């Protein structure tokens, strides 16, 4: 992202949630409520083949039987799922040939977010599949990708044009009945991204999707599916911002990654949904199921920077099925004011010689609660599994909480597992040192937090790292003292 120091200063001055604005585009929205008809209607609206409708219905039927989980270390008022409208799409259709045809208001929205499409185009190697509410309205760089045989399109498009691929892989990593939120998503997902990298192809650019929740009272149900064929490589970026709203908004996304033999997928997320105001009013509920499966010698790497959302419930996982596969998880979770986060990962070692690394940095300020919850499981038949986990927490003030809940289950003697966790605070001497050198306290904190998070920030692609750094600073504003 082209982001200058001057802009950073401007942002720092801006104490309120800066992305809280609302684009006034006429939307085509379903009445609130969920039943089989709504599910069928969503499917019909999107012109889906019958198998897809059936798949959704099946998921819906399972969902009805499920209970919302409450084991996580978070407390929130459970949304009434019958009060949510399950479909909303910007209704200026059909798709545009070029950017000029895109609704200027929409373009303006993206400009405010600092992701103007034309700038994106010029900026080296980022193709953006923009998701506004739920339907993708513009896809760039498609041609370059097409030459390589890479498919990068919206989920609805993929269902129309590549039904065989979607049918083969959808729900293969996160089955529709996996959990309450995954089932809900499977039934009503509106759109999402689909990405397919053919055998032996190294995706030449970072693929990225920007999500925005726009309509009031509309839950966003994204479904992302990334398939990397043998020996391919892809780096996928996901960034999120949402407008300011009083009512809690629900977001229940599902992301599935499939890394076949020797493939590598890098999935980076920057999440900055509206966290609620200083009194803890409003904010997005983020209940996401993310999971990837690694075949032989494959590698999946999750990197996430979570600064937004009132409630986060998210455990990007790796199933290390193939021999020699590698799973990585790098996370920064920052909570301020009344935010709550229960996030972590699951590393399931099934194949031989599998390796996993977990680096989690939690920062809690204000009255927030921040939990790391992770599972490392070594199957009895998984020989020579190796795991290293490190969970560090930073506390600011004594009104917040930092919690660590690691689950380690090992049933093989050749496994080697290490886990360590620390909790600390920003030392007065550190602040004093900065002050002494003319750095004010707020900036000093930003500096220290950045240093604390560096291990994870380094894993992000360059453009994202800058944005993430800026997000951390903005999110911590006003937490001094």
Q: Which is nearer to other proteins, 380 or 451 (CB)?
A: 380
Q: How far apart, in whole angstroms, are the C-alpha atoms of residue 211 and residue 240?
A: 5
Residue 372: strand, helix, or coil: strand
Q: What is residue 202's DSSP assignment? A: B
Shortest CB 419 distance to other proteins, Å: 5
Shortest CB 423 distance to other proteins, Å: 4
Per the structure block, which two tokens stand in for 146? Answer: 């097409």
Q: Which is nearer to other proteins, 380 or 478 (CB)?
A: 380
Shortest CB 15 distance to other proteins, Å: 23
Contact positions toward other proteins, by CB under 8 A? 71, 380, 393, 395-425
Q: Which is nearer to other proteins, 215 or 393 (CB)?
A: 393
Per the structure block, which two tokens stand in for 280? Answer: 């803890």
Residue whose pair of structure tokens reads 């890394």 in the numeric block = 259
Strand 416-425 relative to strand 386-395: parallel, antiparallel, unpaired? parallel
What are the CA-CA distances from residue 169 to residues 7, 232, 233, 298 (Å)? Answer: 42, 17, 18, 17
Shortest CB 443 distance to other proteins, Å: 20
Q: Which is nearer to other proteins, 373 or 459 (CB)?
A: 373
Are 197 and 203 in contact by the 8 Å Cβ rule? The answer is yes
Q: Which is nearer to other proteins, 81 or 405 (CB)?
A: 405
Are 302 and 292 in contact by the 8 Å Cβ rule? The answer is yes
Q: What is residue 310's DSSP assignment? A: S
Shortest CB 189 distance to other proteins, Å: 31
Q: Helix H segments across 247-354?
A: none
Q: Which is nearer to other proteins, 118 or 418 (CB)?
A: 418
Shortest CB 431 distance to other proteins, Å: 13
Angle at 37 between CA 23 and CA 178, to 5 degrees: 80
Q: How far apart, in whole angstroms, are the C-alpha atoms of residue 222 and residue 270?
A: 15
Q: How far apart, in whole angstroms, are the C-alpha atoms of residue 376 and residue 354?
A: 12
Q: Which is nearer to other proteins, 138 or 365 (CB)?
A: 365
Q: How far apart, in whole angstroms, are the C-alpha atoms of residue 142 and residue 120?
A: 13
Residue 299: strand, helix, or coil: strand
Shortest CB 421 distance to other proteins, Å: 5
Q: How far apart, in whole angstroms, are the C-alpha atoms of residue 182 and residue 63?
A: 9
Phi, psi of 335, deg, nearest 5 = -125, 140
Q: Which is nearer to other proteins, 243 or 366 (CB)?
A: 366
Q: Which is nearer to other proteins, 188 or 385 (CB)?
A: 385
Burial class (CB in 10 A: 0-12, 13-18, 19+), 80: exposed
Shortest CB 28 distance to other proteins, Å: 44
Q: Which is nearer to other proteins, 45 or 403 (CB)?
A: 403
Residue of 402, 347, 405, 350 lying closest to 380 (CA atoms): 350
Shortest CB 339 distance to other proteins, Å: 15
Phi, psi of 247, deg, nearest 5 = -75, 145
Shortest CB 220 distance to other proteins, Å: 31
């Amino acid at each position: 992202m082209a982001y200058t120091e001057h802009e950073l200063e401007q942002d720092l001055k801006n104490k309120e949630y800066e992305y809280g604005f609302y684009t006034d585009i006429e939307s085509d929205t379903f009445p609130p409520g969920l039943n089989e008809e709504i599910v069928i209607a969503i499917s019909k609206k999107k012109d889906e083949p019958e198998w897809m409708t059936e798949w959704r219905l099946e998921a819906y039927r399972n969902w009805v039987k499920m209970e919302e989980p409450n084991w996580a270390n978070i407390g929130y008022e459970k949304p009434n799922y019958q009060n949510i409208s399950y479909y909303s799409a910007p209704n200026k259709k059909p798709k545009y040939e070029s950017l000029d045809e895109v609704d200027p208001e929409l373009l303006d929205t993206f400009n405010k977010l600092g992701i103007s499409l034309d700038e994106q185009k010029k900026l080296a190697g980022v193709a953006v599949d923009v998701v506004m509410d739920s339907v993708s309205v513009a896809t760039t760089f498609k041609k370059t990708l097409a030459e390589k045989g890479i498919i990068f399109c919206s989920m609805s498009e993929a269902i129309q044009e590549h039904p065989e691929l979607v049918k083969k892989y959808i729900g293969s990593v996160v089955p529709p009945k996996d959990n309450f939120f995954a089932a809900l998503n499977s039934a009503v997902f509106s759109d999402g991204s689909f990405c397919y990298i053919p055998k032996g192809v190294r995706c030449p650019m970072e693929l990225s999707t920007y999500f925005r929740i726009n309509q009031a009272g509309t839950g966003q149900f994204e479904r992302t599916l990334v398939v990397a064929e043998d020996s391919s490589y892809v780096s996928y970026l996901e960034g999120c911002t949402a407008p300011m709203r009083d009512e809690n908004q629900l977001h229940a996304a599902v992301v599935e990654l499939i890394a076949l033999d020797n493939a590598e997928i890098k999935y980076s997320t920057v999440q900055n949904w509206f966290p609620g105001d200083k009194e803890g009013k409003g904010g997005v509920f983020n209940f996401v199921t993310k999971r990837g499966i690694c075949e032989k010698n494959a590698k999946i790497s999750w990197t996430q920077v979570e600064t937004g959302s009132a409630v986060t419930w998210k455990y990007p996982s790796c199933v290390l099925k193939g021999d020699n596969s590698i799973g990585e998880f790098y996370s920064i979770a920052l909570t301020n004011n009344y935010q709550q986060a229960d996030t972590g990962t699951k590393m399931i070692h099934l194949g031989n010689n599998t390796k996993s690394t977990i680096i989690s940095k939690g920062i809690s300020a204000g009255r927030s609660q921040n939990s790391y919850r992770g599972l490392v499981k070594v199957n009895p038949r998984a020989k020579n599994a190796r795991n290293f986990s490190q969970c560090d927490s930073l506390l600011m003030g004594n009104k917040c909480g930092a919690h660590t809940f690691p689950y380690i289950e090992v049933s093989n003697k050749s496994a080697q597992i290490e886990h360590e966790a620390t909790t600390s605070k920003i030392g007065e001497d550190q602040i004093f040192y900065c002050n002494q050198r003319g750095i004010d306290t707020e900036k000093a904190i930003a500096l220290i937090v950045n240093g604390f998070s560096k291990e994870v920030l380094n894993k992000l692609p360059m453009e994202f790292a800058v944005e993430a750094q800026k997000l951390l600073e903005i999110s911590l504003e006003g937490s001094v003292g």
